[in-house]
Amino acid sequence: MDDLFDPPGTEWTRVQPSLAVMRRVLLAVGVGVLAILVVVAALVVHLPVGLVVLVVVAAVGGWLWWLVGRNVANWGYAEREDELWVTKGAWVRRLVVVPYGRMQLVDVTVGPVERAFGLAAVQLHTASPATDARIPGLRPEEAARLRDRLTELGSAEQSGL
Amino acid sequence: MSAEGPSGPVDPPPAADGDLRRLSPLTPLARSGIFLVVVVFAGGREVVQEGDLRIVLGLLVLVLLAGAVFGGLSWYRTFFRITADELRIDTGLLNRRSRRVRLDRILEIGVDQPLVARVLGLAELRIETATNESEVRLAYLSEADAHEVRRTLLARRDRARDEEEAAEPSTEAPARLLVRVPVSWQLVGVLLSPETIGLVVVVLVVVGLLIGGIPFGAFGVGVLSLLGAAVSLGRKASDWWDWTVSAVPSGLQVRHGLFGVSTRTFNVERLQGVRIVEPVLHRPFGLARLELSVAGGGVKESDEDSTGVALPVAPRHLVRRMAEDLIGARPGDLGRVATTLPPRRAGWLAPISRRWLGFGVSEDLVVGRSGWFARQTDVVPLARVQSFRATQGPLQRVLDVATVHADTPVGLVAVAGPHREPAQARRLVLEGADRARVARGGLGSRVTADTIERLSSETVRD
């Protein structure tokens, strides 16, 4: 028997590792800003408490750093004949199976930071808001290919609500 | 390119297929118009309070300039394109977004004209698909363009749909009565409700207070809660009065009420799932309630009317039978779906509810059970499931269990099987997806006509 989060008979197509780099840069910036604020506050108010807070911030930051790596490493998708499979998550692990015929919309988004890292995200919407099928960290060509492929398969398999 | 200015009597020539088109160049103006009003309002209040006009004016100019630049750039970077089977919209200054909407998925297209837009002769298109979160907007187009685009989209949608399916039977058949809830069921249903339990508790409290020698408190509590319970029960009784369920061409029609008769129609074609509720007090009498979940599709008028109680109180076998008929299952199918409980170790996560958390997948149904106080059975046809999911949180990982979900459009019925063995969760997801494919091929489209035919009044009246 397969493990719950194994791919369906094929391999997962993993997302780009640069997604982890991007997220870690954002994380580092966030933690850095927070740390500076804490240091300033500590100098003004009370030094020992500030140091404790700083240690906590650093610890949480480190844990998130590690989690980002796991998260991106776990993110993957597989195009099967009839469904798209997506897996993700490190803290809460998830597996989503979306039949192509259920697709309502396909979005491709590229944010400014993502563009700097040469990444794009594809998101599938079905009629259910619970369907959580987002794949970030794709190369733009791959994102465009996936979108076209999904739209094409969606039309072929179309079945109403 | 869009036509400018106020709409003429003549429709502009429709753009050729696949042409990249822009929104009306007046868009930034219309958008900043809203901006302007806000700014003037906020600024005006500042002026009254502080009297420093120059700063306010300076800020105003700055904000307007920024708005104009941003609006202009955003307009410059926005395109849309209509092809034979999709609408594509590219937007975004920094966050580029390319969105594709399949035309056959469009439910409704609204034309909105806020005040500023009306003054400028512009209109906004609001394109509704069955997703709840992502309404698609095209703002703004000139009025004439808006109507032309709307017509084009709807015409192509209809063409795309006509190719898919044969014309619907649209004969107006009269409503056929299925069930009329008799007073006896109604009496049991109303009297044995949570309000009654509340009332019993209150009586006990009052008696306690009397024994404890606090007659004033007892009197106050007693009168107030009697009043509350009486109002609540009375409202329920009058609401449930003369509850009838009939079959009409589009689905199930429910009429009820003593003082104001309310009527609602459940569209069977868009039925997503059914829920059977058996409250603890009704169980000894073998009574249950039937609730339906119908995809509203974001169409505002019908949203409220689409989901809710179809039958407030009726014998269990009748409720089951009606549920089976509605979801296109054979009689007795519901009872044949094997549901299993989470393993014993899941008791760490759900100590009390574990013993009532059933979940099972059959050839064409997904069934989830939960609750003791109000035992609830949620049923979704596999042909209606949008996606299957498995999730595993950190605590679940420690206990080696996972949760499976069968996702349906937002509504009443949501089927999930919490805290399963991972191997079983895996099998449910795989089998669910496999069978959903088969079920989609078979059942999906021809549910309506059959279903309504099957809602047979003789099985129902006994």
Q: Tell whether A161 is covered by a domain.
A: no
B431 → chain A, closest CA residue: A97
* Residue B46 banded pLDDT, cuts 50, 70, 90: low
Domain with A142 in it: what CATH number? 2.30.29
Res B39: pLDDT: 61
Q: How confident is the model over B346-393, as pLDDT tens digits?
A: 888 888 888 889 998 888 889 999 988 889 999 998 888 888 999 999
Find chain B residues with C-beta within 8 A of A92's C-beta.
391-394
Answer whether B233's CB lies under 8 Å from B256's CB.
Answer: no
Contact B440 A101 (CB under 8 A): yes
Res B113: pLDDT: 77
* Residue B237 banded pLDDT, cuts 50, 70, 90: confident
Same domain, yes or no, for A106 and A152?
A: yes
Same domain, yes or no, for A146 and A129?
A: yes
Same domain, yes or no, for A111 and A149?
A: yes
Contact B386 A131 (CB under 8 A): yes
B160: pLDDT strictly greater than 90: no
Q: Tell whether A10 is covered by a domain.
A: no
Decide which of A30 and A48 is more confident.
Answer: A30
Q: Tell whether A81 is covered by a domain.
A: yes
A146 to chain B, minimum CA–CA distance in Å? 13
Same domain, yes or no, for A44 and A82?
A: no
Hey, which residues 416-455 in chain B have their CB within 8 Å of chain A?
A: 422-423, 425-426, 429-430, 432-433, 436-437, 440, 444-445
CA–CA gap between residue B98 and residue B136 (Å, rounded): 12
Domain count, chain A: 2
Q: What is the DSSP string of A87-124?
A: EE-SSSEEEEEEEGGG--EEEEEE-HHHHHTT-EEEEE
Res A139: pLDDT: 94
Q: Tell whether A32 is covered by a domain.
A: yes
Q: Tell whether A122 is covered by a domain.
A: yes
B434 to chain A, minimum CA–CA distance in Å? 9
Res B319: pLDDT: 92
Decide which of B214 and B174 is more confident.
Answer: B214
Query: Which regions of B330-414 does DSSP assign to beta strands (E)?
Result: 358-361, 365-370, 374-381, 387-392, 402-407
B34: pLDDT strictly greater than 60: no
Contact B295 A101 (CB under 8 A): no
Answer whether B160's CB lies under 8 Å from B18's CB.
Answer: no
- Residue A1: other Cβ atoms inside 10 A: 9
Structural domain range at position A41:
18-71
Res B300: pLDDT: 38
Which of A1, A97, A107, A157 is the best substitution to test chain B (most B C-beta atoms within 10 A)? A97
Res A34: pLDDT: 92
Q: Tell whether A110 is covered by a domain.
A: yes
Res B168: pLDDT: 46
Same domain, yes or no, for A65 and A131?
A: no
Which among A55, A71, A87 is the end of a domain? A71
B15 to chain A, minimum CA–CA distance in Å? 23
Residue B85 touches chain A, beta carbons under 8 Å: yes
DSSP annotation of A126 reads -
Which of A105, A106, A132, A145 is the best substitution to test chain B (most B C-beta atoms within 10 A)? A105
Q: How confident is the model over B99-151, as pLDDT tens digits?
A: 888 887 787 787 787 777 777 888 888 887 766 556 788 888 888 888 888 88
Instruction: Output the average pLDDT for chain B.
Output: 77
Q: Tell whether A12 is covered by a domain.
A: no
Answer whether B288's CB lies under 8 Å from B274's CB.
Answer: no
* Residue B446 banded pLDDT, cuts 50, 70, 90: very low
A31: pLDDT strictly greater than 90: yes
B411: pLDDT strictly greater than 70: no
CA–CA gap between residue A147 and residue A81 (Å, rounded): 16
Same domain, yes or no, for A115 and A142?
A: yes
Q: How confident is the model over B94-108, as pLDDT tens digits?
A: 777 888 888 877 877
| B415-419: average pLDDT | 89
* Residue B410 banded pLDDT, cuts 50, 70, 90: low
Decide which of B57 and A11 is more confident.
Answer: A11
Same domain, yes or no, for A134 and A111?
A: yes
Q: Tell whether A26 is covered by a domain.
A: yes
Res B24: pLDDT: 85
Question: Among A115-129, A134-148, B271-285, B425-439, where is mean pLDDT lowest?
Answer: B425-439
Max Cα separation, chain B?
A: 88
* Residue B439 banded pLDDT, cuts 50, 70, 90: low
B440: pLDDT strictly greater than 70: no
Same domain, yes or no, for A146 and A95?
A: yes
Contact A92 B297 (CB under 8 A): no
Instruction: Output the average pLDDT for chain A.
Output: 88
Tell me how many residue pairs between chain A and chain B have CB atoms under 8 A apart: 155
Residue B262 touches chain A, beta carbons under 8 Å: no
| A29-43: average pLDDT | 91
Nearest to A20 by CA among A112, A118, A137, A108: A137
Find chain B residues with C-beta within 8 A of A91's C-beta.
393-394
Q: What is the ipTM of this complex?
A: 0.87
Contact B386 A154 (CB under 8 A): no
Res B297: pLDDT: 41
Same domain, yes or no, for A102 and A66?
A: no
Q: Is B240 exposed, middle or buried (0-12, 13-18, 19+ CB in 10 A)?
A: buried
* Residue B172 banded pLDDT, cuts 50, 70, 90: very low
Contact B133 A125 (CB under 8 A): yes
Res B458: pLDDT: 41
A99 to chain B, minimum CA–CA distance in Å? 7
Same domain, yes or no, for A34 and A64?
A: yes
| A50-72: average pLDDT | 93
Contact B389 A83 (CB under 8 A): no
Q: What is the percent of chain A with per-residue pLDDT over 90, rounded to a whole number?
A: 55
Same domain, yes or no, for A124 and A150?
A: yes
Return the residue matching tokens 């996972």.
B402
Q: How confident is the model over A74-129, as pLDDT tens digits?
A: 999 999 888 899 999 999 999 999 988 888 888 899 989 999 999 999 999 888 87
Which among A35, A50, A71 is the end of a domain? A71
Highest mean pLDDT among A114-123, B169-178, B304-313, B447-456: A114-123
Same domain, yes or no, for A84 and A145?
A: yes
